[in-house]
Structure 1
Amino acid sequence: MKTLKYCFLIGLSIMMYNCKEKQKELVVEVYETSATGNKLTRVTDFQVADSIATIKLLPNNKYQTITGFGGAFTESSAYLLNKLSKKNRDTILKAYFAKDGARYSLTRTHMNSCDFSLTNYSYTPVEGDINLEHFTIQEDKDDLIPMIKDAMAVSEDGFKIFASPWSAAPWMKDNNKWVGGKLLPKYYDTWALFFSKYVDAYKEEGIEIWGFTVENEPHGNGNNWESMHFSPKEMTDFVQFHLGPKLEADGKGDKIILGYDQNRAGLKEWVDEMFRDEASSKYFHGTAIHWYESTYDYMPEALQYAHAKAPNKYLIETEGCVDSEIPVWQDDAWYWKKEATDWGWDWAPEHQKHLHPKYAPVNRYATDIIGCLNNWVDGWVDWNMVLDRQGGPNWFENWCVAPVIVDPDADEVYFTPLYYVMAHFSKYIRPGAAVIGLENSDKSLMVTAATNPDGSTAVVIFNETETPRKINLTLNEKTVEISIGAKALQTIVIPN
């Protein structure tokens, strides 16, 4: 009898030990995109790896709150969707916005035309119409508005949309041209009214505008396509004395205003001016940035400075893409190779050439988004959602790459690896998530993490090396051992 009792106690102890050990194991779901062919693929069998990285999550160290991830509605993308079969059009919209797709939550569009329009156009076609009595968004009704409304119908969660002007109509500018020049001071009030009218016009179409950037690329773009120049002081004065008060007076004071909207190297002088005092800061809700300053440097010092200057304001990456490239069609391997070049490869001044080496598009996206999240950026928006095999249409022939490339004549669709890179973030790090701290023993891996409003945690790891890594991941004293392949991006989801 004593022997039986003893055996029972031993068995009970073993069960309790095993149970305790199980409780210590972290339950995770792992999704991977890799050079070997995974495309946001659920991974359950992990590679053998000699090298071990230890990643410890620090959920009590909370940083910025996520606004969202997504891409831009452009006339070019909308036009191409309208040329595809209904099946392919629906497939693309669901891939971007549906619950089982990328779940885009933050989007952009253009006011008046931009380079990714079919031609130059304005909502204010009548010269001297200072009260904008002839304001019309008719140009957007064939392609752009239907794309936005169809995306809204697909999205269960909804998404924010902000709008950016590339230029006022030439008649409002000192050079009377689409390209370059400045807004004439006598039209500052008219231009502020333009934003208010736009909100009303889109609302009539059933589209709620969340906010604006004041001007796309106020430094200009080398005088190539639609642009309108502002100095930091000119933009700040326009917002403080015209745009902000106008939106407020028209009952639109809740609309978000983001200043700057160009490359990160210029951040310091812009945020210093935008947030120069309480009166100017009142109307700026945050800062918009682009990534075209470098193919590899995400400029953490500039991002840190912008956050420190306005710690309670938005800091959103509003545009980034593989520029100055004709898309490579149906060749996933190219997107993982360091063969792409950007505008700076040919055109950057000599003292800036080092910022523009050849790069792998997947690497650029993954490292920039993770680098941004680890330096206070709360939203990241890609450029065109859809382009054709030429990298257009673009009236200036400024060819670029989009995550989804289509051949409208053959009615074919190519989801490039860039689509899956974007989905690693947009699908699993949701609006309202808090970026959290972590300790990472392997500096060759880039890692970021966020806790979602539903209590789940998403960890994104990028391994651009040729060597797989074993990962020891710990959260709240629970641990799991997994691995990440060579040249791979993983999102690890830890349920609540």
Structure 2
Amino acid sequence: MFRHLCKSSRLFCASLALMLPAAAPLGHARPADGTRVEVWITTADHALALAPSTPGRFGDAAENDRLHIAINDRQRYQEMVGFGASLTDSSAWLIQHKLDPGQRDALLKELFGRQPGGLGLSFSRLTIGASDFSRHHYSLADTPDGKPDPELEHFSIEPNRGDVIPVARAMLALNPQLKIMASPWSAPAWMKDSNSLIQGRLLPRYYDAFSRYLLRYVDAYAAEGIPIFALTVQNEPDYEPKDYPGMRLNAAARARLIGDHLGPMIAARGTGPQLFDWDHNWDKPGEPLGVLSDPAANRYVDAVAWHCYGGDVSAQTPVHEAFPDKDAYMTECSGGDWEPVRSGGLPLQARSIIIRSARHWARGALFWNLALDENNGPNAGGCHTCRGVVTIDSRTGAVSRTDEYYALAHASRFVRPGAHRIASGETGGDLDNVAFRNADDGSLVLLVTNAARQPRRFTVGHDGRRFAYTLPPRSLATFVWNPGAARDD
């Protein structure tokens, strides 16, 4: 059980195993006796890493604790799709070519399997053509002479056959519930006013061809056994990077592309995929609001996709309130070596991307690269200080696990697809929380971060009962209990 969950010495792990109570298999609470709460904890230094801890027990808490989390599972919000990370070209290449078959099988089972001990990741993202985390720049409809090809005679997913396609298939084999979205970083160069994958804008005369390009991708991947759940029309459409593929596509352009071209094409198919708008930061909510306010585009947009690199996660809620029939998703956030991520560490990543995004209506949350190497690559431009959910040593295949891994694990291992977020009171200060009710067995899951450098004691109340718990400094915990048979509510 402690094979890769304990980061200290073998002696420490053995001592920890002796001190902790016997626990059910990770990810499933032991059949409840009505009072017991299973607990798993990770500390910022990974001395405890998804470690089963002393159980909580309803009935041992007074009612005068200042920090209290009230749980109401009768008040339900969005249904969850899940948690995960992007299978970038770099991630797929490392997994497919820098791990031997045994290492690759073990890692993918750990990430996407649910039993025994898997994270059960249930949401992922692919790039349509190259991103900065590719080994070279390309689209799926490059032409030998750079001339326009509006009939897409040169379309091909051949660049993905050696890595992305086999790894994505393996992920789906382990978790058939896995939902995969896809985003382009650029249209083919011949569709743009820059005539380059780098910078530029999509020419309106190619809106139709670009829409067909995206759906050719969906169909080509479906033929490979990889269903695409959702598309965005452009990654980070308010940014033109200078050294990797990108394309500016403002709200007015996206509204025309979606409302007059791609949306009607998807509607005529009758089989999807879903369309998510924006796929960019919290700091410009006016952009998705502009698309959703367009009557033609609105009817085809299913959700708004958000990134974490600017603004605050609370921006998701006013957009949801303005258009409550549209879902929200957190579709990109990278860990890495910069502030405030460097000093905030695990509690910051878990609070911002898992806990608060869900509290602000996200049905799913994705970190960026699933895997990078010891040099934060390979990449072709862009971020040189980003890190993956796991780090693969390209020389040996050894795998190490980052803060993002544990932030995901504390959610995905316990909150299953189809769960609903439920009401949970906010304590303020250093503690943040979010709660869920699993649909299959009625179990309740509470995630709590303690960002303080001191232990924090708090109480949790549910159905007129309370338990108390003290979290270590700078830690993340998952609490699981089963209140009994489902009620008629």
Query: Following the alignment from structure 1 to structure 2, what is the Cα–Cα distance between the partners of residues 84 and 257?
Result: 34
Query: Following the alignment from structure 1 to structure 2, what is the Cα–Cα distance between the partners of residues 429 and 39?
Result: 18
Query: Following the alignment from structure 1 to structure 2, what is the Cα–Cα distance between the partners of residues 416 and 221?
Result: 29
Matches within 5 A, 1:50-65: 53-65=67-79
Could you give the per-residue CA deviations for residues 159-198 of structure 1, whole angstroms, max 9, x where no partner exists? Answer: 1001000001111110101111111111111001011111
User: How far has the Cα of 1:403 moved from its partner?
Assistant: 1.7
2:93 maps to 1:79:
yes
Matches within 5 A, 1:23-422: 26-35=35-44, 37-44=47-54, 53-81=67-95, 82-99=97-114, 100-126=117-143, 127-155=147-175, 157-252=176-271, 254-267=272-285, 269-293=286-310, 298-300=312-314, 302-323=315-336, 325=337, 340-341=338-339, 359-368=343-352, 369-396=354-381, 398-399=383-384, 400-422=386-408
Query: Following the alignment from structure 1 to structure 2, what is the Cα–Cα distance between the partners of residues 182 and 109?
Result: 22
Q: 2:413 aligns with which of 427, 438, 443?
A: 427
CA contact (8 A) 1:26 1:479 kept: no
CA contact (8 A) 2:69 2:461 kept: yes
Could you give the per-residue CA deviations for residues 445-465 of structure 1, whole angstroms, max 9, x where no partner exists? Answer: 101101111211110000011
Could you give the per-residue CA deviations for residues 382-421 of structure 1, whole angstroms, max 9, x where no partner exists? Answer: 1111000110100116221112001121221111232111
2:436 maps to 1:474:
no
Find the residue that maps to 1:178 and give its secondary structure. coil
Amino acid at match of 1:386: A
Residue identity (%): 32
Give the corresponding residue for 1:352. Answer: none
Find the residue that maps to 2:41 and give its secondary structure. strand
Amino acid at match of 1:367: R
Amino acid at match of 2:401: F
User: How far has the Cα of 1:271 moved from its partner?
Assistant: 2.7
Query: Following the alignment from structure 1 to structure 2, what is the Cα–Cα distance between the partners of residues 357 and 106?
Result: 23
Going from structure 1 to structure 2, the CA distance change for 1:25 and 1:160 (only over 3 Å counts) comes to closer
CA contact (8 A) 1:25 1:479 kept: no
CA contact (8 A) 1:24 1:478 kept: no
Name structure 1 gaps, 5 residues minimum: 1-22, 326-339, 342-355
Q: Please, which moves more after superposition, 176-185 or 37-46?
A: 37-46
CA contact (8 A) 1:52 1:470 kept: no
Name structure 2 gaps, 5 residues minimum: 1-31, 485-489
CA contact (8 A) 1:27 1:480 kept: no
Amino acid at match of 2:418: G
Query: Following the alignment from structure 2 to structure 1, what is the Cα–Cα distance between the partners of residues 476 and 290?
Result: 38
- Count of aligned pairs: 437
Going from structure 1 to structure 2, the CA distance change for 1:51 and 1:467 (only over 3 Å counts) comes to farther
Query: Following the alignment from structure 1 to structure 2, what is the Cα–Cα distance between the partners of residues 366 and 263?
Result: 18
CA contact (8 A) 2:346 2:475 kept: no
CA contact (8 A) 1:25 1:478 kept: no
Query: Following the alignment from structure 2 to structure 1, what is the Cα–Cα distance between the partners of residues 99 and 290?
Result: 46
Going from structure 1 to structure 2, the CA distance change for 1:205 and 1:444 (only over 3 Å counts) comes to same
Find the residue that maps to 1:378 and give its secondary structure. strand
User: How far has the Cα of 1:251 moved from its partner?
Assistant: 3.9
CA contact (8 A) 2:182 2:232 kept: yes
CA contact (8 A) 2:260 2:296 kept: no
Give the corresponding residue for 1:344. Answer: none
CA contact (8 A) 2:236 2:279 kept: yes
Query: Following the alignment from structure 1 to structure 2, what is the Cα–Cα distance between the partners of residues 453 and 185?
Result: 45
CA contact (8 A) 1:39 1:417 kept: no
Going from structure 1 to structure 2, the CA distance change for 1:363 and 1:475 (only over 3 Å counts) comes to same
Query: Following the alignment from structure 2 to structure 1, what is the Cα–Cα distance between the partners of residues 322 and 425?
Result: 26
Going from structure 1 to structure 2, the CA distance change for 1:440 and 1:289 (only over 3 Å counts) comes to closer
Find the residue that maps to 2:263 and give its secondary structure. helix
Going from structure 1 to structure 2, the CA distance change for 1:322 and 1:357 (only over 3 Å counts) comes to closer
TM-score by length of 2: 0.85
Amino acid at match of 1:491: T
Query: Following the alignment from structure 1 to structure 2, what is the Cα–Cα distance between the partners of residues 72 and 192?
Result: 22
CA contact (8 A) 2:437 2:443 kept: yes
User: How far has the Cα of 1:272 moved from its partner?
Assistant: 2.3
User: How far has the Cα of 1:430 moved from its partner?
Assistant: 2.0
Q: Please, which moves more after superposition, 454-463 or 431-440?
A: 431-440
CA contact (8 A) 1:189 1:242 kept: yes
Give the corresponding residue for 1:485. Answer: 472
2:457 maps to 1:457:
no
